[in-house]
Amino acid sequence: MATPASTTDSQSDARAWQVLAEGFTLFAAGAAPVFSIIQAIGTLTGDPVVIEVATDPGRTLDVGGTALPLDSAFVEVLPTTTQAWVLAGVDVASGLFIALVAWLVYRVLVTARTEPGPFRGGMATRIFRISGLVMAGGMALSVLSGLPNLLLTPDGAGLTVSLSFLPLFVAAAIAWTAEVFRRGEALESDLSGLV
Partner 1 sequence: MAVDPDVGDRVRCHLDDLLERRDLTLAALADEVGVTVANLSVLKNDRARAVRFSTLVAICDALDCQPGDLFSVATT
Q: Does 63 bind partner 1 (CB under 8 A)?
A: no
For residues 63 and 195, which CB has a smaller minimum distance to partner 1 in the complex?
195
Q: 61 or 194: whose CB is closer to partner 1?
A: 194
Question: Does residue number 66 form part of the binding site for partner 1 (CB under 8 A)?
Answer: no
| 2 belongs to the binding site for partner 1 (CB under 8 A) | no
Q: How far is the CB of 190 from partner 1 (least distance, A)?
A: 8
Q: Contact, 89 vs 151, CB < 8 A?
A: no
Q: In terms of CB distance, is 2 or 195 closer to partner 1?
A: 195
Instruction: Give the nearer residue to partner 1 in terms of CB position, either 56 or 190.
Output: 190
19-26 — which CB contacts under 8 Å span 24+ positions? 19/113, 21/109, 22/106, 22/109, 22/110, 22/113, 25/102, 25/103, 25/105, 25/106, 25/109, 26/102, 26/106
Residue 104: which residues within 8 A CB-CB, separation 6 or more? 126, 129, 130, 133
Binding mask 150-189 for partner 1 (x = CB under 8 A): ---------------------------------------x
Least distance CB 195 / partner 1 (angstroms): 5
Residue 92 to residue 33: CA distance in whole angstroms:
7
- The three-class DSSP label of residue 175 is helix
Binding stretches for partner 1 (CB under 8 A): 189-195
